[in-house]
Amino acid sequence: MLNKIRDNSGSVLVLSLWILTLLSLTALSLALKARFELKLTKYQWDDICLLQSAKAGVVHAVSVLSKHRAIGYSALNQEWAHAPALFEKLSMAKAKLTFARDTQDAMGERKRFYGLADEESKINLNHAPKEVLEKIFSMEPDIVPCLMDWRDKNNAVLSSGAESRYYESLPNPYSCRNGPLRSLAELSLVKGVTPDIFDEVKEVLTVFGTGQVNLNTASPAVLEKTGLTGSLAEKIRMFREGEDFVMGTEDDGVFESLGSVLQRLNHLYALTDEERVSLNHCLQKKMLCVKSTCFRLNMMVRTFDSRSWRRYDIVVSPYQKGLQPLYWSEVL
């Protein structure tokens, strides 16, 4: 009898220990879940703060650009292009913002500017004539008719081109745009454009802006692809750099109007006939400008404790569309 009572006491003790263990595990699980949810809420709160701060950043950038609205030209020595006080370490809403633009000079040296980039410093794929596209895609000329088919409204195939019939026969089919490209990434959908070719050309291209190239901001490589001779593109670079040989400083040469370009260059450098012809050709074809209309914001946004961050790629057209961005993408 005594043994039976001892056995029962032992079983009750083991059962109690099991129940205690189960209760402890349940409590631990609830604590972990509560902690996870708290953390999740913090990150969701961070997301909201980062997005709101990025929107405040767009308002800030447009307000800086609006100071230049009445000036007849856009140049790299204006504060939208580089002003650390305005663009390097900003505190807006609930986060820190940095607007940076990385460039590479002719020697391959990289330089960081704190400011915005103008889209008219690049060639617009939606407007570039065939002769310009042929210079850009000289490594694979068949891309030119394919790209022209991609952006024209019809489904008539150009020689060596491709329309929807081709794209819809692919293993992962899609339709031809038959209209303007909406982002530069769309170029990689065009027949013949491999990842290597895309990487090779992406730095000189855009799908935003008027289609004209700004003589005050475009690189010599872009100017040459637009149709100017290589030697004239170099003379324009030297003129813009000024006496300190640095672009984006006070002594920079600036073209205030298209009408003054030939006179200002000729005053400093003796232009050859070939250089004059290339300049006049581009001017007559209305391929050049001195004022930009679209600007790109490469924006890094961090929470004040640096726990969360986002990088945004945004394009605005402040003189035409105001605050509403033409393009907004989170860079992963």
Which span sits near Ca ion by CB under 5 A: 63-71, 126-134, 219-227, 237-245? 237-245
CB of 43 to Ca ion, least distance (A): 44
CB of 149 to Ca ion, least distance (A): 5
Given the structure tokens 């692919």, which residue do they identify? 170
Q: Could you tell me which residues are beta bridge partners of residue 264?
A: none
Q: Which is nearer to Ca ion, 45 or 245 (CB)?
A: 245
Q: Could you tell me which residues are beta bridge partners of residue 327?
A: 315
Helix (H) or strand (E) holding 57: helix 2-66
**Residue 251 sits in the site that holds Ca ion (CB under 5 A):** yes
Q: How many CB atoms lie within 10 A of CB 119?
A: 25
CB of 191 to Ca ion, least distance (A): 12
**Residue 126 sits in the site that holds Ca ion (CB under 5 A):** no
174 Cβ neighbours under 8 A, 6+ residues apart: 167, 168, 189
Given the structure tokens 């189960």, which residue do they identify? 22
**Residue 239 sits in the site that holds Ca ion (CB under 5 A):** no
**Residue 131 sits in the site that holds Ca ion (CB under 5 A):** no
Here's the x/- map for Ca ion, 144-183, by CB under 5 A: it reads as -----x--x-------------------------x-----
Q: Which is nearer to Ca ion, 105 or 152 (CB)?
A: 152
79 Cβ neighbours under 8 A, 6+ residues apart: 64, 67, 86, 115
CB of 239 to Ca ion, least distance (A): 10
Residues that bind Ca ion (rule: CB under 5 A) add up to a total of 10
Q: Of 263, 325, 298, 289, nearest to 112 (Cα)? A: 298
Q: Which is nearer to Ca ion, 132 or 190 (CB)?
A: 190
Residues 67-96 that bind Ca ion (CB under 5 A): none
By CB atoms closer than 10 A (0-12, 13-18, 19+), residue 220 is buried
**Residue 249 sits in the site that holds Ca ion (CB under 5 A):** yes
CB of 198 to Ca ion, least distance (A): 20
Q: Of 276, 291, 193, nearest to 227 (Cα)? A: 276
Q: Which is nearer to Ca ion, 60 or 101 (CB)?
A: 101
Q: Which of 180, 242, 264, 319 binds Ca ion (CB under 5 A)?
A: 242
Q: Which is nearer to Ca ion, 126 or 298 (CB)?
A: 126
First to last CA, the chain: 74
Q: Which is nearer to Ca ion, 63 or 155 (CB)?
A: 155
CB of 178 to Ca ion, least distance (A): 4
162 Cβ neighbours under 8 A, 6+ residues apart: 145, 146, 149, 150, 176, 190, 191
CB of 316 to Ca ion, least distance (A): 27
Which span sits near Ca ion by CB under 5 A: 34-42, 192-200, 206-214, 233-241? 233-241
CB of 151 to Ca ion, least distance (A): 7
Pairwise CA distance, residues 241 & 142, whole Å:
37
Six-digit token string for 199: 């990487």
CB of 163 to Ca ion, least distance (A): 5
By CB atoms closer than 10 A (0-12, 13-18, 19+), residue 288 is buried
Q: Which of 28, 31, 48, 246 binds Ca ion (CB under 5 A)?
A: 246
Instruction: Report the interface residues with Ca ion, using CB under 5 A.
Output: 149, 152, 178, 241-242, 244, 246, 249, 251-252
